[in-house]
Amino acid sequence: MKKPKFTKEEEMKLDILRQSIDRYQNLLQWQKLRRAEKKLLELRLRYDYRSYRRELMLDKYLVTLRPYAKKRRTNFPDERD
């Protein structure tokens, strides 16, 4: 099959078309990357929240295990033992 011969004007139009297609492909690639980053951040936030909650609950538990936490408190803070 013979390669078609184009005039200068047709060559210019083809180049413009190729450039626009390349630019569009580049934009699509960046958009795909941005969507993936956004999804990753959302997942990280969701699971980090769970780990923060777990740490908070563990801290509460450990605080109650401290010996001075079980001390009887008086009604007046100035009258401590």
Q: Can you tell me the mean pLDDT for 44-58? A: 77
Query: Counting Cβ atoms within 10 Å, is residue 12 exposed (0-12), middle (13-18) or buried (19+)?
Result: exposed
Residues 6 or more apart from 14 whose CB is under 8 A from it? 6
- CA–centroid distance for 41 within its chain: 1
Residues of the chain above pLDDT 70, percent: 77
Model confidence, pTM: 0.48
- Give residue 48's pLDDT band: very low, low, confident or very high (50, 70, 90): confident
